[in-house]
Structure 1
């Protein structure tokens, strides 16, 4: 495997580095493939059973993803994140292409679709920690904030373009064509991942002689003892607990109450996505935000106020404007959380730390969905939005009141080297 030296790695900013661009292309293709796959699966499930059965199929992947996520971090640290991402996309490619071929020959039962969703849940549990741990292996330390911005832009592009692309594939050739398109997108990521050059990081140890449980315990101990990572994980947990309910279940209820309909949901989500994309673009262009820990705390706190305001705005245009501010503030705070995690963490633990962060966001926080719906039924939208915003604000206040986290900084960008200092391409 080719290796970049630290000196060579600092020769170009991340957005000009061909290896980072390959990673970005692979991540974008994988994200697009995931969006197309989810649309194809939901369409095939709806066509093959009742709405309740379709909902069950779509929910199957959440179980292994939540149960195995922490173990996925151990796997990423033991075997290397690029290898895990490569295997994950290979499995997803083969599975969805197999489903596409099956749909051309016969009509698969819901059990088959549920099995596919189950496999994707297992793969997601491995993929998500690994993809979060990969940037420090392809970009220098002082470029990780910029890489987080680039990753955010790619993720938003996948969400925005994936649904219409999947819908077009379904319209032209049915679910088989959509699954086939998803498989081809996963396939595009494979040669890009294979050509990545990986930088060995200081402290990179893969303790294969120890048990996975011991490795997981060591990772959790590393978080607990770290002066920045421990408080940062609490901030992630609190902010997501207060954020995901109002912006998922609560948003549909809000739009229905105001009479905005499904179009209103779409406009508000578009405003949120635009704000989040703008935050990612800001990080991509600037590369570093001074006083990152303090900025993260303030953006979470201010974003909490915008969340509470959503419940009391009667006009859709104003709600869209507020959702844009929510997206901007939440997108910036989320990107800073990711960049601080990658720069503060010991490289040997990065997969496990990323797994904990992802587990808090995607495993624990969604449990608030039924609680949010039930609370709105009892107390109404306003009090529930305010309570959720208060939890978000608590995360911001905690970040600002924790000295080590408030003072946390991203690495300063190294001077750009002259042309030819990079060495071999």
Structure 2
């Protein structure tokens, strides 16, 4: 029996010590980011800053993410991913801890927050492709969906809920400065768990004798070339660009105004709607993490993502809070849930030596048009009305998903490239010498032996 055979499918990655350490580090890193997100807002306010100053601080973080994520993919494919994770948390410890001390001593200035916010954006941009690239080194292929599901559950519960809640408590006890210091402490603990992991298997090619800048440009170009000649990858990323453009602005910018104008609601009502979105995202991740990879994995992924925006229509027409809550729950489940399938698809179909770069392209696409969506949401709603904006945002992605799926012949692709879970050790042992083993199973056994 394997260590994970007695666990539910969604929890099997926890049977591996290296993954437990990685996941603990991930939780603490998310705590650090969640605490910082709230702490920096109230620190700007405590300094007498307004929306303009806060926008500057948050905007540079987004710029840092966009600017660094492709480089993060190159680093993940060239260096020890564990070393990168340790270095990122160490940088956050120094930068965030330093600005926290300045805040608590009353010596802080706005430019300090802007600089550290930029550093935080850069570390976030590098972290995602690095984490995605290291996971396949730590768990078997048939547990990758569960590992991605765990991340999908942790992100809304820790980063969007628990971290901000802890920040609010620290601010209430003392000041925003204490919350910022708490973020630095979480980063230090995260780095400690990554140190405890020990060396991890190498799944990428080490490049020697190549100049950093020229090599980085070449590596990024190779990632784009691979995306361009891989139909399932190109189709999904192009559709994701449109989906993010249509959905994120209405969710982040327009929902609060819809609650205020139609319901006479307040921040508490908005918090309930956001909580419903996060709970739906977590539940969607749990459900998919508890399942094996679907036989028609691209069909399932595009079907869910193609319909995920429809709840925005209900929000656009809603006049009661419960409708907002239910629609946000369904939207969160359908929007974030398929990320479990997508992350697993990347880890199983992208060549290991390119996984960091392709993961960085994925993250780059996810955030590239997010600021644009948020900027244009308000002017569009003023031009055509709040209801029309929500309805259009909810309906436009549906036919585009169908067009992308059929135009790129993704049904033929998934048939030609089945992703059945690898056979377990027990299944390999149970194969008797008097039985004929199908060729596909022999191929998978060879891949399992190579991986292990």
Aligned to 1:66: 66
Shifted more, 10-19 versus 330-339: the winner is: 10-19
- Judged with a 3 Å threshold, the aligned counterparts in structure 2 of structure 1 residues 413 and 265 are, in CA distance, closer, same or farther, namely farther
Aligned to 2:421: 412
Aligned to 1:14: 13
Q: Distance in 2 between matches of 1:36 and 1:94?
A: 16
Q: Contact 2:38–2:168 at 8 Å: present in 1 too?
A: yes
Does 1:198 pair with 2:200?
yes
Superposed counterparts of 1:319-334, under 5 Å: 319-334=324-339
Q: Distance in 1 between matches of 2:61 and 2:208?
A: 28
Does 1:216 pair with 2:216?
no
Q: Distance in 2 between matches of 1:57 and 1:365?
A: 16
Aligned to 1:120: 120
Specify the SS of the correspondent of 2:247: helix
Q: Distance in 1 between matches of 2:318 and 2:187?
A: 41
Aligned to 2:249: 245
Q: Contact 2:231–2:410 at 8 Å: present in 1 too?
A: yes
Q: Which has the larger radius of gyration?
A: 2
TM-score by length of 2: 0.85
Q: Distance in 2 between matches of 1:319 and 1:374?
A: 22
Q: Contact 1:49–1:110 at 8 Å: present in 2 too?
A: no
Give the number of aligned pairs: 410
Specify the SS of the correspondent of 1:311: helix
**1:336 alignment partner, one of 338, 341, 350:** 341
Aligned to 2:40: 41
Gapped regions of structure 1 (runs ≥ 5): 1-7, 419-425
TM-score by length of 1: 0.90
- Judged with a 3 Å threshold, the aligned counterparts in structure 2 of structure 1 residues 40 and 134 are, in CA distance, closer, same or farther, namely same
Superposed counterparts of 1:99-178, under 5 Å: 99-158=99-158, 159-178=160-179
Q: Contact 2:259–2:265 at 8 Å: present in 1 too?
A: yes
**2:238 alignment partner, one of 234, 249, 259:** 234
Does 1:24 pair with 2:30?
no
Q: Distance in 2 between matches of 1:417 and 1:157?
A: 35
Superposed counterparts of 1:364-379, under 5 Å: 364-379=369-384
Q: Distance in 2 between matches of 1:360 and 1:151?
A: 19
Aligned to 1:403: 409
Gapped regions of structure 2 (runs ≥ 5): 428-452
Aligned to 2:433: none
Deviant stretches of 4+, over 6 Å: 8-12
Report Cα offsets for 1:175-227 as digits up to 9, x if no partner. Answer: 221122111111111222123352333xx213344421111101111111123
Superposed counterparts of 1:50-61, under 5 Å: 50-51=49-50, 52-61=52-61
Q: Contact 2:292–2:421 at 8 Å: present in 1 too?
A: no
C-alpha deviation, 1:167, in angstroms: 0.8
